[in-house]
Structures are given as C-alpha cells and as structure tokens.
Structure 1
Amino acid sequence: MSFFFRAASRPARPSPQELVRSIKESLLALDTRTGAKALEDVEKNVSTLRQTLSGDGEVEPNQEQVLQIALEICKEDVLSLFVQNMPSLGWEGRKDLSHCWSILLRQKVDEAYCCVQYIENHVDLLDFLVVCYKNLEVALNCGNMLRECIKYPKLAKYILESSSFELFFQYVELSNFDIASDALNTFKDLLTKHEAAVSEFLCSHYEQFFELYTRLLTSTNYVTRRQSVKFLSEFLLEAPNAQIMKRYIVEVSYLNIMIGLLKVFVANPNKPRDIIQVLVDNHRELLKLLDNLPTSKGEDEQLEEERDLIVKEIEKLVHSSV
C-alpha cells in the first residue's frame, strides 16, 4: 500500500516541449505582470528545469530528455530570456539558472554544442553578461556563466576582441572584494584557456592591451599590483606567447615598472617572512637578471639607482640568512 502511495505522490514530469513552453511563458510574463506571483512562477519553472537536467537525488536525469530540452530552449529563444531576466530573479532562482546554464552548454548534437552555437549567433548575450559585473546582485552568477562560455574557443575569442573586454581592467579593481576576485578569475580564463587565440589577440592588440595592463601594475591597490605581476608572469611564459614576452621585456618603459615593483618588495623594511624566503631562494637568478640589464644614461639614471638599491638589499638578505 505504501509503495502505491509513494508512486502516486510523485507528480509526472512535463515533457521537454511542455517544460520549455512553460518557462518561456513565465519569463515573458515578467514583462507584462508585476508582483510576487509572476516571479514565483518563473522560479518554480527554473527549479523544475534544474531537477530535470541534473536529477533530484532520487531520479537520475534522462539524457535524451536533457538533449531535447537544450534543443527546444535554443529553438524557442529561451536562452536569451535566461540572460535578459537574470537580474529580475531572486537568489535561489539565479543560482538554479546558473547551474542549468552550465549543463545546457555541454549538450552536443552531431558533435556540435547546440547552445554554444546559439550564443555564437547571439553574441550580445556575452556582452550583457560582462556588463552584469556592475550589478552587485547578479555579478557572481553571471561570472560563473561567463566562465562556462569561455571554455569554448569562439566565445572566448569574441569576448577578447569585443569592446566589453576592456571592462575587466575596471572590474578587477572594484571595491567589492568578492566581485573583483571573481572578475579576475574570468579575466585569467580569457587569457589562458585558449593559447593560440590569446597569442593572436596579444599580437594584434599589443599596445592597447599592455597600456591597460600597466594601469593594473601601477595601481594604488597593493593586492591588484601583486596579483597582476603574478598573472603577467603566468601568461607571458606560455609557449605561444614567447614572441610577446621577448617584445615586452626589452621595452624600457615596462622595465621601469617591473623594477619599481621589485623595489617595493625588496626595500620594504617590514618584509613578511615568506617574501624574504622567496628573495633569498631566488637571489642568484634575480642578481643575474639585474646584472644583465642594459646600461642607460640620462633619463634612465633613476632606473640604475633603483637597480643598485635592489642588488644591495638582496645581497644583505642573503648574508643575514647565512
């Protein structure tokens, strides 16, 4: 008796077509209706979508249904509605929608990702997601959705070459630490996930990119400076960027900045123990690098003075650690 009761108590799930149609109607209703009921309908439908796509702990998702839902969502332009209505949803609804987004983008039909192809044909959605970093309520959700998109070369390439990309140089310095950190993670993915595309981008946008990046290296925010130096070394040392690195390190204007940053670490009278250890452990490489810097005259005398100061401080640290 109890078995039949449990079986009867579980409501039948709607078909993929019914579910997508219901989601679309409720999202469109947000534009014409106001109040809690309209929002409640959307979030209820999105919750059902999440359970259908990823299972509910008792019933595993039906992969054939998942794929059919992805196709229907693209066919009915619901993917666009997801992005456009993200700011209208509550916390739980945004969380569910972000989760569904990552599953939908992974669905393949004949070796093609149907939702990724949809976004390729509606790239304004990517621009919208980038701009959403300015919205405190949805920034982290949209950041997750962006990083899912960046896994695919064409979508990452579009963002790199769009005017929206420059916004990341602002976002990584936002006063909200969580959002700034999330934006930095997205920024890193853009510059590391697809090496060939990134190398091509840096070659064709060299001056523009490094002019913006220099602002991060000279930021008044210590955390921004430190993270920017670390990240710069990471993506410049990737094999496809070898020519970019060689071009970068011979430019005196950038050399001045890097020497100045090194001076900040070395000349600090209250250096943390881990900083001291790094300087001591790498003193031979640092001193060799500094010794091989090109000599300069006139306007670059300050660079030589700072180099001499750094050398003396590093040698002093090494002697005191013996």
Structure 2
Amino acid sequence: MSFSFFKPSRPKTPQEVAKAIKDSLVALDTKTVVEVKALEKALEEVEKNFGTMRCMLCGDGEAEPNMEQVTQLVQEICKEDIIALLIHKLPSLGWEARKDLVHCWSILLKQKVGTTFCCVQYIENHMELLDSLVVWYDNKEIALNCGNMLRECIKFSTLAKYVLEAPSFELFFKFVELPTFDVASDAFSTFKDLLTKHETVVSEFLTAHYDEFFDSYEKLLTSTNYVTRRQSLKLLSEFLLEPPNSHIMKRYISEVQYLKVMMTLLKDSSKNIQISAFHIFKVFVANPNKPREVKVILAKNHEKLLDLLQNLSAGKGAEDEQFEEEKELIIKEIERVSGFTYS
C-alpha cells in the first residue's frame, strides 16, 4: 500500500511566493470580483499568501529564515510592483492579513540587497504611496496599520523628508484631534517621529515652512482638547530646543504672538501644562536679545506674571530645586524689564 499522498508539498520558491501574492492581490480588484464568494476566496488566498511571506521572512518558529530566500523574495516584491499593490489594496484586506502585512513591512524595508535598501528605493521612486498611507488615517479600519507602516517608512530620512514637504502633511494637524482616541494618539506618534527623527531634515523643513507650520501648530497649543495641548506643548520643547533648530528657536522666541500663547498656557487649569509652558516661556524671558515688543508685553503683564510664577511649583526633589532656581531668575528678569521690584 502506498502512502505517497501524505508526502508534504514542495515548499514554494521566493519567485512563486511573490507571484502568488501578486495574483491574489490583483484578484481583489473590484472590477474582477463580481460575487461575494469570489471576494471571500480572494481574501482567503491573500491571507494564506501573507502567512507564507511572513514565514519566509521571519522563520517558522523552528527554523531561522533562509537569508538567500529572503533577499530573493524582496527583489521579486520590488521587481513585480508588489510594494505598490500592498499599499493600494490595504483597505480591502482582512484583519489577519493586515496584521501579517504590518509585521512583514518593517522587515521588507530593512532588508538590503547588496548595499541598497531595495524596498525603500522602490518607495523613493513612487513617493505618492506615502501620501496614500497618510490620507488613510481618516479610515478608522486601517488607520493604525497605516500608522505603523508610515513610522517604519520615516525611519529613512528621504521618506521622512517627502512626507514633511508633501501637501498631505497638513492633514496631521487634523488627524491628531480625531474623535477616535487611539487613532488620534497613533497620528500624534507619527507626527512626533516626523519632527524628531531626522534633525537636519526637520531643521530644513522648519526653515522653509516656518510661518505656515507654526500658524498650524498654534492651533494645537490652544486646542480645547487637554491631551492635544499637553502633547503638542511637550513636543514643541523637544524639537524647538534641538541644537540644529537654534535659529528656529531664536525666531520663535522673538514673536509676541507665541509669547502670548505661552502666557495663556501658564494659566491653564492643568499643572502639567503650566510647568511645560514655563519651560518655553522662560526662554522668551531669558533671551538676551528680546525685541522691544516682547519687553512691552512682559512689562504690561508683569504683575499677573509674577503672581502666576510665585504660585507655580514643580513638586519635590532635585527637579524642584532646579525649577525654583530658574523661576527666581525669570522673576528677576521680568522685574528688571518692567522696572518693577516685587516685594
């Protein structure tokens, strides 16, 4: 008696895996899927093929991935335009397939063929794919998947630079305030990465787009949403105080408009926001080259400011000691500017 039919099937080659992925993704095209059953079958095929891709890229839990096969698969995925399909078809995919795709995405991007990040180079030649990932934050079903994929992309400076300079970047100011909390938080994580991961790229971007960026950013700092105010204030400290952005900071702390924003935040009902605002406000006050307009605002409001600062404390410990020292210096400078001695 022969039991040959129990023999396991031959593992697919990287070329066969890539072809299967492409064929199943193309089958999701709404023009070709005319029946619900056909669509279900196509989605099952995609899920199965993504599972195979994940196994080939990550190993199966027992055996490590074969790096030669991984390289071949990455080459095929780029050669056959599968990267574009993976993004274009994202809204059509089921939950499991999206999970596998996100897991594979970071491996695909980090994989070198020779000295080249093959998939990153592919995206550099098809930058509009990044716009799709940004825009789809508006789709609750796939927003978190898009966020994960975007953050992997913007680890590479060329891709981060494109997203910052694309018209779609402006959408982040809307996305970070979306009513769905987990989507808004995820969008803020991506927004933060864009503004902190690549110092030189960010510095060039802020220099070229100073007015429109900080006009939009002011709306976040004055948002009615507590989380938005707190997160955007903390992030502002992070990227504004980076050494490559020193020229941006000098410009920012010379503007009365933004000084007024910080003075308003010093009065916020949240102590956390008051403390964070103080750390930016103190830079306006300590600036040895304060413009006349800034001095006038400080002098006009010195009584209210001194009251606010006297009642502001950071808490306990070494941090509080440093805070109190800084606060005393700022109080003295406000007194000096206003010609007023606080008793």
TM-score exceeds 0.5: yes
Query: Of the candidates 195, 200, 204, which is equivalent to residue 200 of structure 1?
Result: 204
Contact 1:263/1:310 (CA < 8 Å) preserved in 2? no
Task: Output the CA distance in 2 between the equivalents of 1:158 and 1:225.
Answer: 27
Task: Output the CA distance in 2 between the equivalents of 1:135 and 1:237.
Answer: 34
Q: Which amino acid aligns with 1:123?
A: M
Counterpart of 1:212?
Answer: 216
Gap change, CA 1:89 and 1:275, over 3 Å in 2: closer
| 2:267 alignment partner, SS class | helix
RMSD over aligned CA atoms reads 2.9
Task: Output the CA distance in 2 between the equivalents of 1:62 and 1:305.
Answer: 70
Query: Of the candidates 1, 12, 15, which is equivalent to residue 13 of structure 2?
Result: 15
Q: Which amino acid aligns with 2:13?
A: S
Counterpart of 2:285?
Answer: 289
Task: Output the CA distance in 2 between the equivalents of 1:113 and 1:304.
Answer: 56
| 2:60 alignment partner, SS class | coil
Q: Which amino acid aligns with 1:112?
A: T
How far did residue 10 of structure 1 move? 5.4
Task: Output the CA distance in 1 between the equivalents of 2:283 and 2:188.
Answer: 31
How far did residue 176 of structure 1 move? 0.7
Counting only pairs closer than 5 Å after superposition, residues 227-238 of structure 1 correspond to structure 2 as 227-238=231-242
How far did residue 13 of structure 1 move? 2.1
Counterpart of 1:253?
Answer: 257
Gap change, CA 1:80 and 1:257, over 3 Å in 2: same
Q: Which amino acid aligns with 2:266?
A: L
Relative to its length, the structure with more helix (as a share) is: 1
Counterpart of 2:140?
Answer: 136
Query: Of the candidates 306, 315, 321, which is equivalent to residue 311 of structure 1?
Result: 306
Q: Which amino acid aligns with 1:128?
A: S
Counterpart of 2:23?
Answer: 25
Question: Which deviations, in whole Å up to 9, do the C-alpha atoms of 1:275-319 show, x marking residues without a partner?
Answer: 79x59xx89x9599389876759xx76x6565422321332456x
Counterpart of 2:150?
Answer: 146
Task: Output the CA distance in 2 between the equivalents of 1:198 and 1:16.
Answer: 38
Query: Of the candidates 145, 156, 159, which is equivalent to residue 160 of structure 2?
Result: 156
What stretches of structure 2 of length at least 5 have no aligned partner? 317-323, 325-343
1:115 aligns with 2:119: yes
Question: Which deviations, in whole Å up to 9, do the C-alpha atoms of 1:243-281 show, x marking residues without a partner?
Answer: 0000001101111111111121xxx4xx65x779x59xx
Gap change, CA 1:307 and 1:224, over 3 Å in 2: farther
Number of residue equivalences: 303
Counterpart of 1:43?
Answer: 47
What stretches of structure 1 of length at least 5 have no aligned partner? none
1:88 aligns with 2:86: no
Task: Output the CA distance in 1 between the equivalents of 2:251 and 2:200.
Answer: 17
Gap change, CA 1:310 and 1:121, over 3 Å in 2: same
Contact 1:290/1:311 (CA < 8 Å) preserved in 2? no
Identity within the alignment, %: 58
Normalised by the length of structure 2, the TM-score is 0.81
Counterpart of 2:332?
Answer: none
Task: Output the CA distance in 2 between the equivalents of 1:21 and 1:288.
Answer: 60
Gap change, CA 1:185 and 1:307, over 3 Å in 2: farther
Task: Output the CA distance in 2 between the equivalents of 1:145 and 1:287.
Answer: 36
